[in-house]
Structure 1
Amino acid sequence: KNEDFVIASKVLGASNLRVIFHHILPNIVPSLIIYSSLNFAGAVISEATLSFLGLGIQPPTPSWGSMLSEAKDFLQIAPHMAIFPGLAILLTCLGFNLLGDGLRDALDPRLRT
Protein backbone atom coordinates (compact mmCIF):
# COMPACT_ATOMS: atom_id res chain seq x y z
CA LYS A 1 0.00 0.00 0.00
CA ASN A 2 2.90 2.34 0.66
CA GLU A 3 5.18 1.29 -2.21
CA ASP A 4 6.12 3.95 -4.74
CA PHE A 5 4.60 2.14 -7.72
CA VAL A 6 1.25 1.77 -5.91
CA ILE A 7 1.19 5.43 -4.92
CA ALA A 8 2.15 6.48 -8.46
CA SER A 9 -0.64 4.36 -9.95
CA LYS A 10 -3.19 5.80 -7.52
CA VAL A 11 -2.06 9.36 -8.32
CA LEU A 12 -2.53 8.64 -12.03
CA GLY A 13 -6.12 7.57 -11.32
CA ALA A 14 -5.87 3.78 -11.30
CA SER A 15 -8.58 1.95 -9.39
CA ASN A 16 -7.80 -0.46 -6.58
CA LEU A 17 -8.55 -3.46 -8.82
CA ARG A 18 -6.24 -2.16 -11.54
CA VAL A 19 -3.42 -1.67 -9.03
CA ILE A 20 -3.95 -5.19 -7.68
CA PHE A 21 -4.19 -6.97 -11.04
CA HIS A 22 -1.62 -4.97 -13.01
CA HIS A 23 1.01 -4.09 -10.44
CA ILE A 24 0.84 -6.29 -7.34
CA LEU A 25 -0.21 -9.75 -8.62
CA PRO A 26 2.39 -9.98 -11.42
CA ASN A 27 5.08 -9.39 -8.81
CA ILE A 28 3.88 -12.04 -6.33
CA VAL A 29 2.89 -14.84 -8.74
CA PRO A 30 6.45 -16.24 -9.15
CA SER A 31 6.97 -16.34 -5.39
CA LEU A 32 3.56 -17.93 -4.91
CA ILE A 33 4.37 -20.62 -7.49
CA ILE A 34 7.67 -21.49 -5.81
CA TYR A 35 6.00 -21.58 -2.41
CA SER A 36 3.20 -23.81 -3.71
CA SER A 37 5.54 -26.24 -5.43
CA LEU A 38 7.61 -26.58 -2.27
CA ASN A 39 4.40 -27.15 -0.31
CA PHE A 40 3.33 -29.91 -2.73
CA ALA A 41 6.69 -31.62 -2.28
CA GLY A 42 6.41 -31.19 1.48
CA ALA A 43 2.91 -32.67 1.43
CA VAL A 44 4.17 -35.76 -0.42
CA ILE A 45 6.96 -36.22 2.13
CA SER A 46 4.58 -35.61 5.06
CA GLU A 47 2.07 -38.15 3.77
CA ALA A 48 4.80 -40.73 3.18
CA THR A 49 6.24 -40.13 6.65
CA LEU A 50 2.89 -40.44 8.39
CA SER A 51 2.04 -43.56 6.41
CA PHE A 52 5.46 -45.05 7.21
CA LEU A 53 4.76 -44.51 10.91
CA GLY A 54 1.27 -46.01 10.57
CA LEU A 55 -0.54 -42.71 11.16
CA GLY A 56 -1.41 -41.86 7.56
CA ILE A 57 -3.49 -43.61 4.93
CA GLN A 58 -4.63 -46.98 6.21
CA PRO A 59 -4.32 -50.22 4.21
CA PRO A 60 -5.64 -51.39 1.75
CA THR A 61 -5.19 -47.93 0.19
CA PRO A 62 -1.70 -47.88 -1.33
CA SER A 63 0.78 -45.31 -0.09
CA TRP A 64 4.51 -44.96 -0.70
CA GLY A 65 5.10 -44.60 3.03
CA SER A 66 3.23 -47.79 3.87
CA MET A 67 5.08 -49.58 1.06
CA LEU A 68 8.37 -48.50 2.63
CA SER A 69 7.15 -49.59 6.05
CA GLU A 70 6.23 -53.04 4.78
CA ALA A 71 9.53 -53.34 2.89
CA LYS A 72 11.78 -52.63 5.87
CA ASP A 73 11.51 -56.26 7.02
CA PHE A 74 12.67 -57.52 3.61
CA LEU A 75 15.64 -55.23 2.92
CA GLN A 76 18.14 -58.10 2.96
CA ILE A 77 16.29 -60.40 0.57
CA ALA A 78 14.28 -57.96 -1.59
CA PRO A 79 15.77 -54.45 -1.52
CA HIS A 80 13.75 -53.45 -4.57
CA MET A 81 10.64 -53.38 -2.37
CA ALA A 82 12.05 -50.30 -0.63
CA ILE A 83 14.04 -48.81 -3.50
CA PHE A 84 11.15 -48.22 -5.88
CA PRO A 85 8.77 -46.43 -3.46
CA GLY A 86 11.73 -44.37 -2.22
CA LEU A 87 12.64 -43.43 -5.78
CA ALA A 88 9.01 -42.54 -6.48
CA ILE A 89 8.99 -40.14 -3.52
CA LEU A 90 12.34 -38.67 -4.56
CA LEU A 91 11.36 -38.16 -8.20
CA THR A 92 7.96 -36.71 -7.32
CA CYS A 93 9.45 -34.15 -4.95
CA LEU A 94 12.24 -33.33 -7.39
CA GLY A 95 9.66 -32.95 -10.16
CA PHE A 96 7.54 -30.52 -8.13
CA ASN A 97 10.62 -28.45 -7.28
CA LEU A 98 11.87 -28.37 -10.89
CA LEU A 99 8.39 -27.49 -12.14
CA GLY A 100 8.21 -24.59 -9.71
CA ASP A 101 11.68 -23.42 -10.75
CA GLY A 102 10.81 -23.57 -14.43
CA LEU A 103 7.54 -21.72 -13.97
CA ARG A 104 9.28 -19.05 -11.89
CA ASP A 105 11.86 -18.55 -14.64
CA ALA A 106 9.10 -18.28 -17.24
CA LEU A 107 6.80 -15.99 -15.25
CA ASP A 108 9.13 -13.74 -13.23
CA PRO A 109 8.85 -10.20 -14.66
CA ARG A 110 12.26 -9.29 -13.20
CA LEU A 111 13.97 -11.94 -15.36
CA ARG A 112 12.47 -10.71 -18.63
CA THR A 113 14.69 -8.63 -20.86
Structure 2
Amino acid sequence: MSEVRANRVAEQMKKELGQIITRKLKDPRVGFVTVTDVEVTGDLQQAKIFISVLGDEKQKHETLVGLAKAKGFIRSEIGQRIRLRKTPELVFEFDEALEYGNRIEGILRDLNKK
Protein backbone atom coordinates (compact mmCIF):
# COMPACT_ATOMS: atom_id res chain seq x y z
CA MET A 1 0.00 0.00 0.00
CA SER A 2 2.74 2.49 0.94
CA GLU A 3 4.67 1.67 -2.24
CA VAL A 4 1.67 2.71 -4.36
CA ARG A 5 1.33 5.95 -2.43
CA ALA A 6 5.08 6.63 -2.69
CA ASN A 7 4.86 6.17 -6.46
CA ARG A 8 1.91 8.57 -6.69
CA VAL A 9 3.73 11.17 -4.58
CA ALA A 10 6.86 10.70 -6.73
CA GLU A 11 4.94 11.31 -9.96
CA GLN A 12 3.23 14.39 -8.53
CA MET A 13 6.57 15.71 -7.26
CA LYS A 14 8.15 15.14 -10.69
CA LYS A 15 5.44 17.25 -12.31
CA GLU A 16 5.62 20.02 -9.73
CA LEU A 17 9.43 20.10 -9.67
CA GLY A 18 9.53 20.64 -13.42
CA GLN A 19 7.31 23.68 -13.06
CA ILE A 20 9.10 25.08 -10.00
CA ILE A 21 12.59 24.77 -11.49
CA THR A 22 11.69 26.23 -14.89
CA ARG A 23 9.28 28.98 -13.81
CA LYS A 24 9.95 30.04 -10.22
CA LEU A 25 13.67 29.46 -9.72
CA LYS A 26 15.62 32.56 -10.73
CA ASP A 27 19.17 31.37 -9.92
CA PRO A 28 21.46 32.14 -12.90
CA ARG A 29 23.60 29.08 -12.07
CA VAL A 30 20.71 26.74 -12.83
CA GLY A 31 20.80 25.95 -16.53
CA PHE A 32 18.39 23.99 -18.69
CA VAL A 33 17.25 21.23 -16.30
CA THR A 34 14.97 18.30 -16.99
CA VAL A 35 13.62 16.25 -14.09
CA THR A 36 13.87 12.69 -15.43
CA ASP A 37 12.73 10.73 -12.37
CA VAL A 38 11.85 11.00 -8.69
CA GLU A 39 12.21 8.17 -6.18
CA VAL A 40 10.45 8.58 -2.83
CA THR A 41 11.09 6.26 0.10
CA GLY A 42 8.19 4.24 1.46
CA ASP A 43 7.88 6.45 4.55
CA LEU A 44 7.87 9.60 2.36
CA GLN A 45 10.81 11.06 4.29
CA GLN A 46 13.32 11.36 1.42
CA ALA A 47 13.04 12.03 -2.29
CA LYS A 48 15.88 11.41 -4.73
CA ILE A 49 15.48 13.66 -7.77
CA PHE A 50 17.26 12.61 -10.94
CA ILE A 51 18.04 15.46 -13.30
CA SER A 52 19.49 15.89 -16.75
CA VAL A 53 21.33 19.13 -17.56
CA LEU A 54 22.11 20.49 -21.00
CA GLY A 55 25.73 21.69 -21.23
CA ASP A 56 29.29 20.80 -20.35
CA GLU A 57 30.63 19.50 -17.03
CA LYS A 58 31.10 23.01 -15.59
CA GLN A 59 27.49 23.94 -16.33
CA LYS A 60 26.29 20.66 -14.82
CA HIS A 61 28.28 21.29 -11.65
CA GLU A 62 27.03 24.90 -11.38
CA THR A 63 23.44 23.71 -11.84
CA LEU A 64 23.84 21.13 -9.08
CA VAL A 65 25.29 23.81 -6.76
CA GLY A 66 22.42 26.18 -7.60
CA LEU A 67 19.81 23.50 -6.92
CA ALA A 68 21.49 22.60 -3.63
CA LYS A 69 21.37 26.26 -2.54
CA ALA A 70 17.69 26.52 -3.54
CA LYS A 71 16.73 23.24 -1.85
CA GLY A 72 14.86 24.99 0.98
CA PHE A 73 12.84 27.15 -1.42
CA ILE A 74 12.02 24.17 -3.65
CA ARG A 75 11.01 22.07 -0.64
CA SER A 76 8.68 24.80 0.66
CA GLU A 77 7.09 25.15 -2.80
CA ILE A 78 6.55 21.38 -2.94
CA GLY A 79 5.02 21.52 0.55
CA GLN A 80 2.53 24.15 -0.55
CA ARG A 81 1.56 22.34 -3.76
CA ILE A 82 1.36 18.78 -2.40
CA ARG A 83 -0.46 18.37 0.86
CA LEU A 84 1.63 16.01 2.99
CA ARG A 85 2.14 15.86 6.71
CA LYS A 86 5.89 16.27 6.20
CA THR A 87 7.60 17.34 2.98
CA PRO A 88 10.33 14.88 1.95
CA GLU A 89 14.00 15.83 2.20
CA LEU A 90 15.31 16.50 -1.34
CA VAL A 91 18.48 15.01 -2.82
CA PHE A 92 19.50 15.98 -6.36
CA GLU A 93 21.52 13.58 -8.52
CA PHE A 94 22.49 13.43 -12.17
CA ASP A 95 20.68 10.83 -14.27
CA GLU A 96 23.50 8.78 -15.77
CA ALA A 97 21.11 6.60 -17.79
CA LEU A 98 20.94 9.06 -20.71
CA GLU A 99 24.72 9.28 -21.10
CA TYR A 100 25.02 5.51 -20.70
CA GLY A 101 22.38 4.96 -23.39
CA ASN A 102 24.10 7.39 -25.77
CA ARG A 103 27.43 5.64 -25.23
CA ILE A 104 25.89 2.24 -26.00
CA GLU A 105 24.19 3.65 -29.08
CA GLY A 106 27.53 5.03 -30.30
CA ILE A 107 29.22 1.65 -29.79
CA LEU A 108 26.45 -0.13 -31.70
CA ARG A 109 26.65 2.42 -34.51
CA ASP A 110 30.43 1.85 -34.77
CA LEU A 111 29.92 -1.92 -34.86
CA ASN A 112 27.36 -1.62 -37.65
CA LYS A 113 29.79 0.47 -39.73
CA LYS A 114 32.37 -2.33 -39.56
TM-score (norm 2): 0.27
Whichever of the two has the greater Rg, that structure is 1
TM-score (norm 1): 0.27
Instruction: Indicate the structure with greater helix content.
Output: 1
Instruction: Indicate the structure with greater strand content.
Output: 2
